[in-house]
A and B are shown apart, each in its own frame.
Chain A
């Protein structure tokens, strides 16, 4: 048994008062959960403290909160660990971020999370009618690639942690986009390209993710939503060559081709390149490129003015020795028919030194 202090953010919309903090003492063994602590307070001190919970075993996904600022399931966080990571010994507990608070630790999942999930059409749109008196049959390997996205329990913890959502509430967000990949990666779905075109064209879609790993860090089920967003991008650009108004397609193509050509990246050429391999003057640009060029000019000029970049440096790429080897590796790998991929979610870390650990293609062909 140990004593812990839980500093909980309280809020009651009916009171008309702003949110406030209250310290509560609880007594629990360190291996018990933060949720156990909250329930002890409800039981012994203040029954009006509101929290949503059910299974207490990280299955139902109801008890998402922020513990010491980090989004997590309360039932999935040991109170002893939380105390170790707290400042000055008291564990702070707040409702999840990026969504409205209903009362105390309960947030409105409908207003943000479920609305966004519906946005991605979260059901199968079959390519054809099911066989008569039967169901669709797919080989088990074909579904491996989407098992990670399917592990989502819709707790909203990633939505709470998302740093893009924090500045752009219209971002479709990590949970909904992971759900989108669940269907884009499903061989039975007939609308892969349509789904991807929709998500690539939306200014708050797949190219609005800032690649910050916040969702990967907090997900209690290791769904790695950001990885699913990267898979959506890979399919949008690689498989369907979808050119979008956000210039996500152009950016990836330009980046990869510069690394192929020079070995290293040359930012001064990245922007003009990402407008397209064609001539800017003749209008052979990617969609949205001219607007971006105009917007980025002041920044480029500031770089020149501060002495960071010389005009020569802006135009001529530094040559590194032996870059033909990099080009050779590009050629070898890009000419292969099948992508060699290792998905650690499927094979497990350190399990890989055994036979058969490699998931060739991982279903992504």
Chain B
């Protein structure tokens, strides 16, 4: 499947292991990715807070570039936050042809135009796995079932709320996909309170206490539920849950030491890739224990 691919900012900045693992996993899933390297930041809610016309124009430009990719089935992103911010813009752009015309004026100098097209979509990797590739097809590709690995799903707000905007009418199980993927890969999905709550990242620079209490609480809940690791489709959640984890520990007054995987890393492990080539050595919280369990699985297979 050919796809216009929007990697986002963070996957090429502070979580390079995410972008890298997508590059490794895509061919194994028969995905041909055409990277939108001229596209700009989705705004992550902050540009929207600043100026709506601006954020809608920037994302309309990204969509227009994706629509111009010849033969692409749609557009893929790998970040819950990109999905949420872009879906918000797309909702407005699709609602009014007059508004769309106003926004498209800014794209004209580049000969670009965003058109509302039934059937055109922008899906994050998690949605794509379930809806376009399918859990059965994914199961068939598994080389190394993640047996015995207890994985706590962490969805990220922007792919689960608001359900009205995020296509839950047509896909009511979108807030279950991460659990379903974990199980399709042979792992055990851990049930805990924080799976669909906020990681706290959006206020890390403005209110560190609120931010790290949130991250710390969800990590602690996952640990108490017996998780070996967490997995998330959102690199911003990853920053707060992994990179900030040592700091978060002091805000919940307990030890936290639980690795956090990016979704493509988890998929890659089950498809037989090596933890190192998936960038799992580049995490702040060591993934050693997960790697050890994976090595045992490989030995058993």
Contact = CB atoms under 8 A, between A and B. Distances in A.
A306 B210 contact: no
Nearest to B95: A352
Interface in A235-250: 237-238, 246-248
A330 B54 contact: yes
A255 B46 contact: yes
Interface residue tally on A, bucketed by range? 35 or more
Main secondary structure of the interface of B (DSSP, over half): helix
B198 A210 contact: yes
Nearest to A207: B206
A268 B15 CA distance: 12
Interface string A317-345: 01011110110111011101001111010
Given A216-B161, A326-B40, A357-B98, A292 B205 contact: yes
A358 B96 contact: yes
B40 to A, nearest CB: 4
Contacts of B92: 342, 344
Interface residue tally on B, bucketed by range? 35 or more
A298 interface: yes
Given A167-B210, A344-B91, A252 B49 contact: yes
B206 A216 contact: no
B211 A210 contact: yes
Nearest to B52: A341
B12 A318 contact: yes
B202 to A, nearest CB: 4
B253 interface: no
B117 interface: no
Given A167-B213, A210-B214, A308 B197 contact: no
Interface string A141-169: 00000000000000000000001101110
Contacts of B39: 263
Contacts, number: 222
B14 A342 contact: no
A214 B161 contact: yes
B98 A213 contact: no
Given A213-B157, A213-B162, A358-B98, A265 B10 contact: yes
Interface string B12-50: 111111000000000000000000011111011111111
A28 interface: no
B45 A208 contact: no
Contact of A334 (B51, B162, B244): B51
A168 B162 contact: no
A86 B84 CA distance: 26
For the complex of A and B, 6 pairs with smallest distance between CB atoms:
A352-B96, A213-B161, A212-B198, A167-B213, A352-B95, A265-B9
10 contacts: A213-B162, A214-B157, A265-B44, A299-B244, A303-B243, A306-B243, A321-B38, A326-B61, A334-B51, A342-B96
